[in-house]
Amino acid sequence: MMRTRPLKVALLGCGVVGSEVARIMTTHADDLAARIGAPVELAGVAVRRPSKVREGIPAELVTTDATALVKRGDIDVVVEVIGGIEPARSLITTAFEYGASVVSANKALLAQDGAALHAAAEDHDADLYYEAAVAGAIPLIRPLRESLAGDKVNRVLGIVNGTTNFILDKMDSTGAGYQEALDEATALGYAEADPTADVEGFDAAAKAAILAGIAFHTRVRLDDVYREGMTEVTAADFASAKAMGCTIKLLAICERAEDGASVTARVHPAMIPLTHPLASVRGAYNAVFVESDASGQLMFYGPGAGGAPTASAVLGDLVAVCRNRLNGATGPGESAYAALPVSGMGDVVTRYHISLDVADKPGVLAQVATVFAEHGVSIDTVRQQGKDGEASLVVVTHRASDAALSGTVEALRKLDTVRGVASIMRVEGE
């Protein structure tokens, strides 16, 4: 039997995502009510610019006083899609204090203060759901938090930013330079006017922190994530990748150490073999691989951003939270019992592709090989091309630690025969 009194929802933010949330709540009201077991009512919408016309939202629901809205006392669920740290953090904690559960898409806040927000939710017997914070419409948080709760996740590897994937895909498929590909992404609306958060890896790093925390039952903050942007990736890097049968993607990688005693989280460009499923992820799409003991390899793929896809994830959380409210229960909260240490980048072990500018004369290769051997880095392949006294030397290593590779590169720079280090890129997915 359906309850007749509606569950009241406060919406904080009515931009691209918020407006889609409001639209779906209105147009699919009957279906949502049937799935939840009670009607859902949009009780208020907090915005910064009240004069803006918002189709489908009655003017009497619009307010600029978000704090008063979450303090009303009759709100069942607060949906936060304003982003940023403040005032979002204060509004969410206030919502808990006044008896509401929260659905959020705020990756930056969750990556920085997720533990405190989970604690606040638990203190007030409320839910904190945030499927939309990572990978848009792709169901990823709930499978990690619930479906794989009985398994041991060892690695999460994926493309979690559509803007950077679009740019790198364009560079790969057309031979365009970085700036040309960025300009096209901006013109098509895939990149913001200021693309720093995307192209420098901040967005992906926040998502990596969230994923690592859930996957490894360990608190991982944004500051724990190694971050390297993709603005230095060149057409020459793609040419080198193609020579190896690879392409280049900006990857978020969360790993459990081989001995299981620690975890790492990192974001950086990497070469991956064309045979790997992530290599075929094109345009602004996202895809994430999850590797675990019992289930093996799982891949999640789909649109990772945009108003409607992200709103889909928000509404999925809204349905789950509303069901919990009706049943007088809460869903899973933070699981950080493992409390594993988060290691730095120096402990990460992977393969490397190093391109060196060297003098084109006898003995150079031997000198370079000696440096690698002295630092315990084993060479897999070497390719050398020379002309007019200058040469390019490309070295691909076997697996080595980042610390060992850093020492190797520092020593290489001191050789008289090495003119410079043109590029260093990790090789993943093998």
Measuring CA to CA, how many Å separate 22 from each of 18, 69, 121, 203, 282? Answer: 6, 16, 24, 25, 30
Token duo for residue 72: 């009303």
Q: Which of 207, 249, 361, 414 is catalytic?
A: 207
**Distant-in-sequence, close-in-space partners of 31: CB < 8 Å, separation ≥ 6:** none
Is 207 catalytic? The answer is: yes
Round to whole Å and give the CA distance between 42 and 77. 10
- Which residues are part of the catalytic machinery? 207
